[in-house]
Structure 1
Amino acid sequence: MSGAKSIVHDQAQSRFVIYVDDQEAGFAEYVQDGSVRDFNHTVVSGEFRGQGLSKPLICEALMATKEAGLKVKASCSAVEAFVEKNPDFKELLA
């Protein structure tokens, strides 16, 4: 079973990181160009796969991007699929 989860925006590394019990479990990386964050790489580490971590990670990354008044480009297939399944986020697409 997975433990306590937290998601942190690591602005220095241009990525959102998900932790499980204080251990880095995955991240959603982006490149920011002006007012657009291009989410180009999402990874969940092997031992954490299958725990449904990418969905809350991507959701938090997109919500934080929206709150910052920025747009999203979904170069990463996981982010693109998330937006397809959650049409409320389509308004964020650049």
Structure 2
Amino acid sequence: MDIRSTEDGSHGRYSVTVDGHEAEMTYSRASAKLIIIDHTGVPDALRGRGVGQALAIHAVDQARSGGWKIMPLCPFFRAQAMRHPEWTDVVNL
């Protein structure tokens, strides 16, 4: 999947388009070393296809490469983080 990253000031977004449907994960940058993931939206047409999971993995990879931490306010991302203990290096539960 070709996940796009955009950031405007303190607000950011990861997005991907699959079969004409766009999914997104949004965040706010609390500081240079912390982002708060606040929303994941996946259209019904894409549910069950791993799109949300791909966005979550992308966020974790970006945090690792950027040297920052993630605070998950989004229920989906929080649930994913609880299933992936290997993310504890970047996710603050």
Q: Distance in 1 between matches of 2:56 and 2:13?
A: 11
After TM superposition, what 4+ stretches of structure 1 lie above 2 angstroms from structure 2? none
TM-score norm. by structure 1 comes to 0.84
Q: Distance in 1 between matches of 2:4 and 2:82?
A: 24
Deviates more, 1:48-57 or 1:34-43: 48-57
Answer whether contact 2:21 2:46 (CA < 8 A) is retained: no
Partner of residue 45, structure 1 = 43
Q: CA deviation at 1:24?
A: 4.7
| RMSD after superposition | 1.5
Q: CA deviation at 1:86?
A: 1.0
Q: Once the two structures are superposed, what CA deviation does each residue of 1:15-60 show, in whole Å capped at 9, x if it has no partner?
A: 1112225x45211100101121000100001222221211111101
* Partner of residue 3 from structure 2, selected from 1, 7, 18: 7
* Aligned positions of 1:1-94 closer than 5 A: 5-12=1-8, 14-21=12-19, 23-34=20-31, 35-94=33-92
The number of equivalent residue pairs is 89
Q: Distance in 2 between matches of 1:17 and 1:27?
A: 4
Answer whether contact 1:15 1:28 (CA < 8 A) is retained: yes
Q: CA deviation at 1:10?
A: 1.4
User: Identity of paired residues, percent?
Assistant: 20
Letter in 2 for 1:27: E
